Structure 1
Amino acid sequence: MSESTELRHRNQTKSSTRLTRKARKLDDRAARQAAAVKRPGPRGWFGRGRGESSIIQPVDEWRGTTVQVCGLFPFAVGSGTPMVGVPLGRHLFTNATVCADPISWFQIAKLISNPSVFVLGLPGLGKSTLVRRMALGLSGFGVQPLVLGDLKPDYVDLIDALGGQVISLGRGRGHINILDPGEAREAAEQLREAGYAKLAKQVLADAHGRRHTMVAALLTILRKQPPTDREESIIDRALKWLDEHHAGVPVLGDLLQVIQNGPPEVRAVALDRGDDARYKQITEDLEASLISLTSGGRLGETFAHPTDVPMRRDAPVVYDVSSIDDADQDLQAAILLACWSSGFGTVNVANALADAGLEPRRHYFVVLDELWRALRAGRGLVDRVDALTRLNRQRGVGMAMISHTMSDLLALPTEEDRMKAKGFVERAGMVVAGGLPGAEMPMLTSAVPLSRAEQELLGSWQDPPAWDAVSGREAEPPGRGKFIVKVGGRPGIPLRVELTDAELHINDTNKLWHDQSRTGRRGGELAAVTPLRAEAV
């Protein structure tokens, strides 16, 4: 074979090999295309003229229990929301039922380590309605709601509907005796008869400490500064003298009389050195303050008389203090402290009797609504709430604290109080947030981790309602009844609170706007205007 023939043969061989490889590639591609034709994509057959769908209709969904839908496996999926606790409403995105309350999530579900909830949101978006639903549901579980100072009032109708106790306090509306040990004496006697002398002693010591603390708190509010160490010792010894020598329940006037008379036990701690003139000089300021508390001074006579309505421990209770004007901050602070002292004193008695087996164990759901108003009302209230938030788990009580924004908590006069108030949110077992302005997000996220999507959702709920030209009134605000439940760093649960028809009459906080007819001028005559209809969340 010549050289030219051999070269021609090699080129033909190479060309044939290339054609063979190309044919194989074409065959493989055709095979892949054929396989692809047998498998349509998620939107249908891919390609021009093949009927691909640009919009997919969502599949129909039905909700049911695991017993009802167990036969539909694998087409059934879990709701993803807790089903333990009070049913609050429905999930905004999945429409699943959302159940939540601080006591059930702490005691049963073990989802939180502290039985407390902090609720934040702008006014009019349903914060109190959410907490009323929790209180109503918990009452059905056997937990007693305690509203220790209703400033609006928002809970009177609920407690009354539950057959509970409504105690009204204020100028000319009722009295609360801060020296009344409540049921502590009767409980101590029962404990002694049952052989629990040590527990009885603890109950009486707790009652004495509460009375001493309340007298010192009233003096602090009245004077704008706390009493001196010597005055505290005089008050302590005078209260013990009353317990030993006074028949019945003493009042502040009896305490004043003991200090004026100056028995030897009181003079000993006053360090009068046997000099009567020196004793009067030492007790002069204390005597003047007690006279102001008993003779209708700045705090009125609310604390100068026996308690009108003793608090019960076996029923829901609300202290209605709505008659006190917001400008009367000193009286607000004093009455709130007295209500808290009375309420937690009753809880302590109930726990002691339950420990001894003399009564069934009771749990309580304490509501501190409008917390920002209480914290600003006077010195000592921040420390009081701070102590409650740290000990509520040991006391066997759940707690709900409600405020508008983080700015309200951080507007306290001292940096120490501001840090304590921020700690209320940080220590809460669960935080429920409603509509909030964007300026609140940095402060809120410093206490509770919020994703960007959650922040945007909260911001969208704070918009005001729009005017509906068809109905001639404002449409419902976009954030009314909508909240996000946050527990630590877990994703929030967005929900909308839904009320039953039976709850509507106890959730109207605008009664003064609905119960009266308004009149207006039209054509020179007085024409009746239809009253506004109550809009419930």
Structure 2
Amino acid sequence: MTRPSPLLVPAGETRAQRRARIDAQRGIRRAAVQARREEARRVAAADRAAAPGRDIPSGGEHRPGALRTWRRLRLPAHRATTATLAAAYLFQAEGGLALPGMVIGHDAYTRAAFCFDPWVLYAAGVLTNPNVLIAGEIGSGKSALAKTLLGRGRAFGHRAYVPGDVKGEWTPIAAALGGATISLGAGRPTRLNPLDAGRRPQDVGDPEWDVEVRSRRLELLRSLIEQLGGQPINPTERTAVAAAVDAAVAAHTTPVLPHVVDHLFAPDLTRPLPAGFTSHAELREAGRQPGHLLATLVFGELAGLVDAPSTVRFDPSLPILTIDISALGETNPALPLVMACTSAWTEAALRDPSDGQRFIVYDEAWRILRELALARRMQTQWKLSRAWGLSNVAVVHRLSDFAAVGDAGSELRALSEGLVADTATRIVYRQRADQVAATAVALGLTGPERALLSALAKGTGLWRIGERSGQIVAHTLAPAELAVVDTDHRMSRNPDRFAVPSVADG
């Protein structure tokens, strides 16, 4: 051991003085070490007094079976099946929902069957609402899952409606389930009147029903005018539209858009003036701009679609009803207007909670989120989903679609982000690497969940149900289902190559 040397040696120091000085230095060091040990013992004693019974001696506890040994612990190797070892690792995987529902597929880790039913989960207190959000890049399997929910939900008595099928993909599943498809487009005979009163609930009286129908019609017309004009409708125009609707209802039991346009351009001189107007000329001037905007639906490129009495009837007994608007073209700027009309027509027939539990699917929902009026309608349905017995299903490519609409702080941005907050079930399929961060922030994903998003296999998704941690679920399709949910058949030279599928396609 090397002896410590003094830093400073006084000149002329004798041997005895040097020895005395070194002994004094050693004494100081021993005293410092002893002081530190006393302080450590004092702190340990205080800890034992604060938490009695938690201090374990370094040599182990003095009791039988305390595993105190001076040898290294060595255990013999043991080999067993995973079924046997499962009992030794009880908390390694998600235990499942343990509730009845539609069989979706299996847990990717435990291989256990995975069942889902938003109404069952809501009744059990697992969910705060039955709304569902499905996000995934093209070809990841999100559309196949949405169609499977509708198909398998029929066995549980759930009906389904698709108010705007922009690609025509839902027609095969509607035919397979015994439902119906309403096709809208230029040259087609079908007409939908968005001002239809809809089906009246049995427990609603005449005054209440008249007020509700009038409010719904005014809301639709206001949204159409704002979409066409690109700006909010002012108060005088709002009053003029209300007066035109009242006059059209008085002259016709079920008005259509041309009736409202006529009364905006030429108010009924026999009817009393609304409050705030001094002459019919002033009322006509206030309704001129809204009249010209609504006239584009009557005389413009959408003429013959939503400007006449309905040629079809909403049948609530059908297991599924879809409205095919693919003939308009996906890039048609008038597509949001048609979707607003079809959504209003469908919504008018869905407000009766006695009709049971129903799915409402908004495929390609990002198109709707671009329009403020449509986003407001979606928010209404999301908020009233429990009262109406609806499970709204929004299908998008990525979660950033909700944050990419409108300016920061705008109403449109707030509505879009609010839809995510009002959706208790979030299902995320494979995401591109540049979308992972935004998705993780929007859904509050953990680090391990975030790492999985860009590596998920086709047909496998991360399910966030309520406040539960994410569960990796592989969606399984039966051969009979594949024929109606496959959206890639046009890309294959061999239509039979998916004869025995193992996971979802689409």
Q: Please state which band the TM-score falls in when normalised by the shorter chain.
A: 0.7 to 0.9
- Aligned residue for 1:161? 176
Kindly tell me: are residues 380 and 42 of structure 1, through their superposed partners in 2, closer, same or farther at Cα, counting changes over 3 Å? Answer: farther
- Aligned residue for 2:468? 490
- Aligned residue for 1:219? 225
CA–CA separation in structure 1 for the residues paired with 2:150 and 2:219: 29
Shift of 1:222: 1.9
**Of the two structures, which has the highest relative contact order with CA contacts closer than 8 Å and spacing of 6 or more?**
2
- Aligned residue for 2:268? 263
The percentage of counterpart residues that share the same residue type is 23
**2:305 is aligned with what amino acid?**
T
Query: Which of these residues, 403, 408, 414, is aligned with residue 396 of structure 2?
Result: 403
SS in 2 for 1:149: strand
- Aligned residue for 1:53? none
- Aligned residue for 2:366? 372
Shift of 1:218: 2.0
Shift of 1:99: 0.8
- Aligned residue for 1:426? 421
Kindly tell me: are residues 224 and 171 of structure 1, through their superposed partners in 2, closer, same or farther at Cα, counting changes over 3 Å? Answer: farther
Deviations 1:421-448 (A, max 9, x none): 2222222111111111333333223232
Contact 1:178 1:215 in 2 (8 A): no
Contact 2:128 2:466 in 1 (8 A): no
Contact 2:379 2:419 in 1 (8 A): yes
- Aligned residue for 2:243? 237
The aligned runs of 1:432-471 (5 Å cut-off) are 432-461=427-456
Structure 1 segments, 4+ long, off by >6 Å, are 32-37, 73-79
| 1:333 has 2:336 as partner | yes
Shift of 1:531: 6.4
The aligned runs of 1:76-87 (5 Å cut-off) are 80-83=95-98, 84-87=100-103
- Aligned residue for 1:144? 159
Deviations 1:153-174 (A, max 9, x none): 3322112211112111233333
- Aligned residue for 1:47? none
The aligned runs of 1:17-36 (5 Å cut-off) are none
Kindly tell me: are residues 268 and 498 of structure 1, through their superposed partners in 2, closer, same or farther at Cα, counting changes over 3 Å? Answer: same
Kindly tell me: are residues 449 and 58 of structure 1, through their superposed partners in 2, closer, same or farther at Cα, counting changes over 3 Å? Answer: farther
The aligned runs of 1:84-483 (5 Å cut-off) are 84-107=100-123, 109-173=124-188, 174-184=190-200, 191=202, 199-246=205-252, 248-264=253-269, 268-269=273-274, 273-274=278-279, 276=281, 278-295=282-299, 297-315=300-318, 316-329=320-333, 331-348=334-351, 350-351=352-353, 354=354, 361-376=355-370, 378-415=371-408, 416=410, 417-461=412-456, 479-483=457-461
CA–CA separation in structure 2 for the residues paired with 1:257 and 1:94: 65
Kindly tell me: are residues 211 and 123 of structure 1, through their superposed partners in 2, closer, same or farther at Cα, counting changes over 3 Å? Answer: same
Shift of 1:496: 0.6
CA–CA separation in structure 2 for the residues paired with 1:105 and 1:176: 36
Root-mean-square deviation (Å): 3.1
Shift of 1:181: 1.4
Contact 2:107 2:114 in 1 (8 A): yes
CA–CA separation in structure 2 for the residues paired with 1:458 and 1:100: 21
Deviations 1:359-384 (A, max 9, x none): xx4121111111112212x3312222
Kindly tell me: are residues 43 and 508 of structure 1, through their superposed partners in 2, closer, same or farther at Cα, counting changes over 3 Å? Answer: same
SS in 2 for 1:485: strand
Q: Which sections of structure 1, spanning at least 5 residues, go unmatched? A: 1-31, 45-55, 64-72, 355-360, 462-478, 518-529
- Aligned residue for 1:10? none
Shift of 1:265: 6.6
SS in 1 for 2:350: helix
Kindly tell me: are residues 313 and 61 of structure 1, through their superposed partners in 2, closer, same or farther at Cα, counting changes over 3 Å? Answer: farther
Query: Which of these residues, 31, 41, 44, is aligned with residue 75 of structure 2?
Result: 41
Contact 1:366 1:399 in 2 (8 A): yes
**1:433 is aligned with what amino acid?**
V
CA–CA separation in structure 2 for the residues paired with 1:61 and 1:322: 55
Shift of 1:267: 6.0
Shift of 1:485: 0.8
Shift of 1:254: 1.9
- Aligned residue for 2:59? none
**2:268 is aligned with what amino acid?**
P
**2:126 is aligned with what amino acid?**
L
| 1:506 has 2:501 as partner | no
CA–CA separation in structure 1 for the residues paired with 2:467 and 2:444: 6
Shift of 1:117: 1.3
CA–CA separation in structure 1 for the residues paired with 2:280 and 2:142: 59
Contact 2:430 2:453 in 1 (8 A): yes
Shift of 1:235: 1.9
**1:111 is aligned with what amino acid?**
V
